Amino acid sequence: MRISEIAELLGRPLEGDAEVQIQGVAALDDANSDELAFARETVSVERCAASAAGALIAPVGLEVGERPVIRSPNPALDFARFSRHLASEQQPRRGVSPQAWVDPSAELEEGVRVAPGCLLGARVRVGEGTVLHANVVLYNGVELGSECVIHAGCVLREGSRLGDRVVLQPGVMIGGDGFGYEAGDGGRLEKGPQVGGVVIEDDVEIGSNTTVDRGSLGDTRIGRGTKIDNLVQIGHNCDVGEDVVIIAQAGLSGSTRIERGAIVMAQAGIVGHVTVGERAVVGPQSGVMRDVPAKTRVLGSPEREGRLQTKIVAALPRLPDLLRRVRELEKRLKRLNSDES
């Protein structure tokens, strides 16, 4: 694309040669002469000058040399938007591949793309402009909204319903059975009901190899705008609110509630039937076993208020010396008591 076309796409002003051709995107330090990069306000003039990038997205006032520059109040955000535009052009061809299998009762709206190896079951509904990459499996009755992108190898079981613009990275599993068993005669485990569904609202993105279990009776819900990283486990009947962030390898047990804007960091584990309040932060590797109030930060396992846990961790290296001093004081006190007697 010409740099002028990119500026028009982003709705930002352009300075310099409008005819410069851009073939791709790259980091500022790694870009070639046919690639677009971006620079934040904190980037030095010397670093910009050393870059070989053919064009930049940069804030107003930052000196970038002779190359063309798209001026932006948020260069990183506009760079991300253009990068997504490039990625959207790498989609499968429009229509249904001859190597896909689609049940005659499935409903596909205009502009849907179905790559080779996909399997769409009975009564599946796929919204306008949605893309299914290779080997996606949609069980009977799955519903997808418009402009979704479902990457290779994803599986969506019956009762799964996605809103608009949902992105599933490769290998996501939506709607598998939850982990629910009852002890029968002689302690033998018998599987409980797993007949609910999964509801994923608009603008959610879920990372590779994450699993979202179906509800045992009702639905598991992921709220609008939530972003979930790779290798996350969402148990049955969890209720994840809007604009929540859940980082890699975190695990939510069944019926956990995460309220709007909360953040669950990497490798945190939350027991079932617990609520994490609005805009609360659960720190990395935390073990949460009780409700977390809104707008608080917890750390550790078991979880504690963030500042208290920081003090405890800071004190741990001093414990051996403190124990030695206590033992010495006990010995001195014992000698004093014996001398007095």
Is residue 252 within 8 Å of residue 238, measured between CB atoms?
yes
List the catalytic residues.
236
Rounded distance, CA 235 to CA 222, Å?
11
Of 105, 113, 117, residue with least CA distance to 132 = 113
What are φ and ψ of residue 149, in 5° steps? -130, 115
Residue 93 clears pLDDT 80, i.e. is over it: no
Give the sheet arrangement for strand 257-258, strand by strand. 107-108, 125-126, 143-144, 160-162, 198-200, 220-222, 239-240, 257-258, 275-276
Contacts of residue 166, Cβ cutoff 8 Å, sequence gap at least 6: 144, 145, 148, 149, 200, 202, 203, 204, 205, 206
Asked whether the CA dihedral 157, 158, 159, 162 is positive or negative, the reply is: positive
Is residue 166 within 8 Å of residue 200, measured between CB atoms?
yes
- Using the structure block, give the residue that is written with the tokens 């002779």: 66
Average pLDDT over residues 164-172: 97
Residue 89 clears pLDDT 70, i.e. is over it: no
Q: What does the pLDDT read at residue 90?
A: 67
Rounded distance, CA 17 to CA 7, Å?
12
As a 3-state breakdown, the chain gives helix, strand, coil percent values, each rounded to 5, of 20, 25, 55
Rounded distance, CA 200 to CA 203, Å?
9
- Residue range(s) occupied by CATH 3.40.1390.10 in the chain: 3-88
Give the pLDDT band (50/70/90) at residue 341.
low
Residue 291 clears pLDDT 70, i.e. is over it: yes
Question: How does pLDDT run across 195-216, given as a tens digit for each residue?
Answer: 999 999 999 999 999 999 999 9
Dihedral-angle region of residue 339 (phi above 0 means left; psi in -120 to 50 means alpha; beta otherwise): alpha
For the domain covering 3-88, report its CATH number: 3.40.1390.10
Q: How many CB atoms lie within 10 A of CB 192?
A: 15
Name the DSSP class of 199: E
- Residue range(s) occupied by CATH 2.160.10.10 in the chain: 96-308
* Token pair of 190 as six digits: 């018998």
Q: What does the pLDDT read at residue 104?
A: 97
Specify the CATH class of 96-308 in words. Answer: mainly beta
- Using the structure block, give the residue that is written with the tokens 């414990």: 319
Contacts of residue 263, Cβ cutoff 8 Å, sequence gap at least 6: 244, 245, 246, 247, 280, 281, 282
Rounded distance, CA 303 to CA 28, Å?
40
Of 38, 34, 27, residue with least CA distance to 1 = 34
- Using the structure block, give the residue that is written with the tokens 């045992």: 216
Rounded distance, CA 285 to CA 262, Å?
16
Question: How does pLDDT run across 253-290, given as a tens digit for each residue?
Answer: 999 999 999 999 999 999 999 999 999 999 999 999 99
Rounded distance, CA 68 to CA 14, Å?
7
Question: How does pLDDT run across 240-260, given as a tens digit for each residue?
Answer: 999 999 999 999 999 999 999
Rounded distance, CA 41 to CA 160, Å?
44
Residue percentage of the chain with pLDDT more than 70: 98
What are φ and ψ of residue 303, in 5° steps? -65, 145
pTM: 0.80
